[in-house]
Structure 1
Amino acid sequence: MPFTVKEILKMEVAPALGCTEPVAIALAAAAAASLLPQRGFDRLELWVDPNIYKNGIAVSIPGTGGLSGLDMAAALGALGGDPALSMQVLEPIGEAAVSQAKQALAQGKVKVNLRREFGLYIKVVLSAGEDRAEAVVSELHDNISYLALNGRELTDHPLLGGKQGSSANQLAQMELWFKDLPLSDLLDMIDDFDQEDMDFLEQSVKVNLKLAEYGLKHGPGLGTGQALERLVRQGLIKKDMIVAAKMLASAAADARMAGVKLPAMASAGSGNHGLTAVLPIWALRDYLEVDDAEVLKAVGLSHLVTGYVKAHTGRLSAVCGCSIAAGAGAAAGVTYLLGGSLHYIAGAIINLTSDLAGVICDGAKASCALKLSTAAGTAVQAALFALQGVSVQPTDGIVGGTLEQTTKNVGLLSTEGMVETDRTILKIMLEKHFAEY
């Protein structure tokens, strides 16, 4: 069945406070805690799949002053999170909840278990006195698929089913539909944006821009964006379109990965994807004579292409989605903004794919800012190259005869070719954290 552009945006673009994986853990824990007569627990046990583990282990949690860890995310969700806020579940967290969570961890009340099966999965079991509450998040980061209290499944609870108007089943149907679409259909959808859609796209820009502005002003995390700005001031590099895109995207990632308590407007289930899909396009406003409506249409196209590529690669994998999916979205949006037709947009995406297809995902952490910087700069470069007639040919590597075939090849690389790579990355990370897999 065909989906409208409004339905796609509703399912694919949403605010998220903090890195998506620890937030999803906090959501599951908060959902389980909401079933108990009162806050607090004697025991919390957590099960996660390998990719949730990989992406959640090292990244800072918002509102905690730089704390990290799957156990901390679960404890915070259980002690102070609001599951009704979905991916902004940690918004109410304050010093009291952080202190209680630290105490729970120090007392050994939280245990983390790693599942061997891949596929997005989080299970939390809370015990408090005679009561036992369970919650499962699966398939999507915001999809609470199971709730139970004292062994009785709750099938009609309002928290079940993820964000309003969407479900894992609907998204699966949309992704199947997405996979068969030609790029021309995605480009045609730009004409379907109404004022409500444009207002929503403008909001996605404003939300992500606040993170970038914070990162440039304060230099949190790795400080990549601020370092780029400093290099410009020192005259060591020149601020052109490529550097401007790198600066905005990396500064926002610096702030988000450092746990700054500001939401990101996620794209295709990832806040960092949202930063990559949106900010490089917005950065070009200072270099082009374009009105904001055209910029917002380009942002909309970027979200659509990001979701299209993610439908092929999967939500979580060994491939860096910020590079290969959101980077492709940004390349498409930049090319559109520069006046490129379908031919050039396809060429830009292929250029970027050929350049960045080998970038691995080794979890969410401060150095993601470097990858977002690379993705943002490469997106602009890929577009400029395409418009100059530079386009990687089908004879090269994984590039196919068409953009659509190239994207299918990237999906095959991600879902089949890099499975063992994913296991090896996880093994290295687990050895660092003195665990066994």
Structure 2
Amino acid sequence: MQFTVKDVLSIQVAPALGCTEPVAIALGAASAMSLLPSPTFDTLEVAVDPNVYKNGLAVSIPGAKGLSGLDMAAALGATGGDPALRLEVLQPINDTFVAAAQKAIADGKVTITLLKDQHGLLIRSRATSGTDIAESVIEDLHDNITSLTLNGLPVNSPLIEHREEGAPSPVAEMEEWLKGLSLTELIALTDQLDDEDYAFLQEGVDVNMRLAEQGLKYGLGLGVGKTLERLVRQGLIKKDMMLAARILASAAADARMSGVSLPAMSSAGSGNHGLTAILPIWAIKDYVDDVETKSVLEAIALSHIITAYVKAHTGRLSAICGCSVAAGAGATAGITFLLGGDATHIAGAIKNLMEDLAGIICDGAKTGCALKLATAAGTAVQAALFALQGVNVHHTDGIIGQSPEETMRNVGTLAVDGMIQTDKTILNIMLEKQFNEV
């Protein structure tokens, strides 16, 4: 099947309120609750795969006063979530719902189960009220509800994405198509952008900039962005193109990871990917003479496309930090494009970034992600500038391939095949910490 750039943007880029793993858990719980005749539940059981568990364990939930946890995400979704809002399911949450969720957890009504042997994204939610049992299943993608049942009988609902049995999801089909394209063909997709696409890309900038502004104003989370800005004002470091990118990306992550009730424009299923894919490019535009907004938005479109391409190889969730290797690759491609680079320069920038950041692990979503976004954003600029100056990593180095396509495939192999045990070890460390804290 042939796709267009509009298809890529509509399927891969969407607003998400809060970290997408706890939000997906909330969506599953809210979807199950929507089937029950009663607005309250007696029990809520949620089973998740290891990567959803890892990413949802420690990150703050939007609208929940800094509270975190898989059980809290599920309880909030069940008490006040609106499943029709998909990845913005927690938009209606207020203090009353937070109190109800806390009480449900205190009363022992919420149970979370880790499906240790599950590969791929899976969230199964089961809510009971009296004799009624409602169940929802989310698979492969954070908002892909594949099954809803009430008392064992299937429920026909607009929440479910209907497709022929055995047919791939639109995202899976698109990813297979993307993997067959060359870098030149990926770049050429930006020629298809129309006014509607430009408006959507600008919306993504505006949404993510609001998060960055919150982070810079209030020093939320770890306060990485605000601290970098303060160091500039104190004259301890100088603000250049790389630092500008680091400040915007990390400030937005500070706000998002601390639970601010503002959506992020996500990319390839991740809000933090969206911050990395968009904000470094928006930051460096101020250092480029006579650049048109349209050109900046084209660069951001390319960033989303390359991010989706890398994620097609690595999978949605893995032991590798996708903000670094996927969205970072997208950002450096977009930056190189905006600075006047051609396909050869973009190829070099992607290889440079992969050599630099491919080993960064994903140890779950949390406030510390702001540090990783700062690193990814700064390295994305550096990789682009190096490539434009003729500095390119050689294909004889490590996992770097002859082409950028081969390099990105190699990173995918590293993530999917090479780091399975790493992923398990990371989760075991996190679980042991949680057990010791209790």
Q: Give the aligned partner of residue 254 of structure 1.
A: 254
Q: Give the aligned partner of residue 297 of structure 2.
A: 296
In 2, are the aligned partners of 1:27 and 1:87 still within 8 Å (CA)? yes
1:84-114 Cα deviation digits (max 9, x unpaired): 0000000000111000000000111111100
Q: CA deviation at 1:170?
A: 1.2
Q: Give the aligned partner of residue 40 of structure 1.
A: 40
Distance 1:225 1:309 in 2: 27
Distance 2:119 2:371 in 1: 27
Q: CA deviation at 1:38?
A: 2.5
Distance 2:341 2:123 in 1: 43
SS in 1 for 2:300: helix
SS in 2 for 1:359: coil
Q: CA deviation at 1:125?
A: 0.3
Q: Give the aligned partner of residue 225 of structure 1.
A: 225
SS in 2 for 1:276: helix
Q: Supply the AA of the counterpart residue of 1:20.
A: T
Q: Give the aligned partner of residue 401 of structure 2.
A: 400
Q: Give the aligned partner of residue 74 of structure 1.
A: 74
1:218-240 Cα deviation digits (max 9, x unpaired): 01101000000000000000000
1:347-396 Cα deviation digits (max 9, x unpaired): 00000000000000000000000000000000000000000110000010
Q: CA deviation at 1:168?
A: 6.2
- Worse-superposed segment, 34-43 or 227-236: 34-43
Q: Residues 90 and 221 (structure 1 numbering): CA distance in 2 closer, same or farther, change over 3 Å?
A: same
| Structure 1 residue 30 corresponds to structure 2 residue 40 | no
SS in 2 for 1:315: coil
Distance 1:14 1:398 in 2: 32
% identical aligned pairs: 64
Describe how 1:36-435 pairs up with structure 2 within 5 A: 36-116=36-116, 117-154=118-155, 156-161=156-161, 169-289=169-289, 290-434=291-435
Q: Supply the AA of the counterpart residue of 1:77.
A: G
In 2, are the aligned partners of 1:13 and 1:267 still within 8 Å (CA)? yes
Q: CA deviation at 1:275?
A: 0.1
Q: Supply the AA of the counterpart residue of 2:263.
A: P
Distance 2:16 2:38 in 1: 26
| Runs of at least 4 residues off by over 2 Å | none
Q: Supply the AA of the counterpart residue of 1:389.
A: G
Distance 1:61 1:400 in 2: 40
Q: Supply the AA of the counterpart residue of 2:362.
A: C
SS in 2 for 1:63: coil
In 2, are the aligned partners of 1:347 and 1:391 still within 8 Å (CA)? yes
Q: CA deviation at 1:286?
A: 1.4
In 2, are the aligned partners of 1:140 and 1:168 still within 8 Å (CA)? no
Q: CA deviation at 1:416?
A: 0.1
SS in 1 for 2:387: helix
Q: CA deviation at 1:153?
A: 1.5
SS in 1 for 2:230: helix
Q: Supply the AA of the counterpart residue of 1:196.
A: E
1:251-285 Cα deviation digits (max 9, x unpaired): 00000000000000000000000000000000012
1:109-136 Cα deviation digits (max 9, x unpaired): 1111000212100011001111110011
Distance 1:139 1:391 in 2: 36
In 2, are the aligned partners of 1:139 and 1:168 still within 8 Å (CA)? no
SS in 1 for 2:137: strand
Distance 1:237 1:329 in 2: 27
Distance 1:303 1:407 in 2: 15
Q: Supply the AA of the counterpart residue of 1:423.
A: K
Q: Supply the AA of the counterpart residue of 2:174.
A: M
1:277-324 Cα deviation digits (max 9, x unpaired): 000000012111201110000000000000000000000000000000
> What count of residue pairs does the alignment treat as equivalent?
431
| Structure 1 residue 16 corresponds to structure 2 residue 16 | yes
SS in 2 for 1:59: coil
In 2, are the aligned partners of 1:59 and 1:366 still within 8 Å (CA)? yes
Q: CA deviation at 1:11?
A: 0.3
Q: CA deviation at 1:423?
A: 0.4
In 2, are the aligned partners of 1:70 and 1:112 still within 8 Å (CA)? yes
Distance 2:404 2:45 in 1: 45
TM-score, structure 2 length as denominator? 0.97
SS in 2 for 1:108: coil
SS in 2 for 1:148: strand
Q: Supply the AA of the counterpart residue of 2:197.
A: D
SS in 1 for 2:16: strand
Distance 2:420 2:72 in 1: 28
SS in 2 for 1:186: helix
Root-mean-square deviation (CA, aligned residues, Å) is: 1.2
Q: Supply the AA of the counterpart residue of 2:324.
A: S
Q: CA deviation at 1:419?
A: 0.5
Q: Supply the AA of the counterpart residue of 2:85.
A: L
Distance 1:125 1:346 in 2: 47
Q: CA deviation at 1:51?
A: 0.1
1:309-350 Cα deviation digits (max 9, x unpaired): 000000000000000000000000000000000000010000
Q: CA deviation at 1:161?
A: 1.4
Distance 1:296 1:168 in 2: 31
Distance 2:44 2:170 in 1: 31
Q: CA deviation at 1:157?
A: 1.2
User: Which ranges in structure 1 are unaligned for 5 or more consecutive residues?
Assistant: none
1:168-202 Cα deviation digits (max 9, x unpaired): 61111111111111000011111100000000000
Q: Supply the AA of the counterpart residue of 1:245.
A: A
Q: CA deviation at 1:428?
A: 0.4
Distance 2:295 2:76 in 1: 41
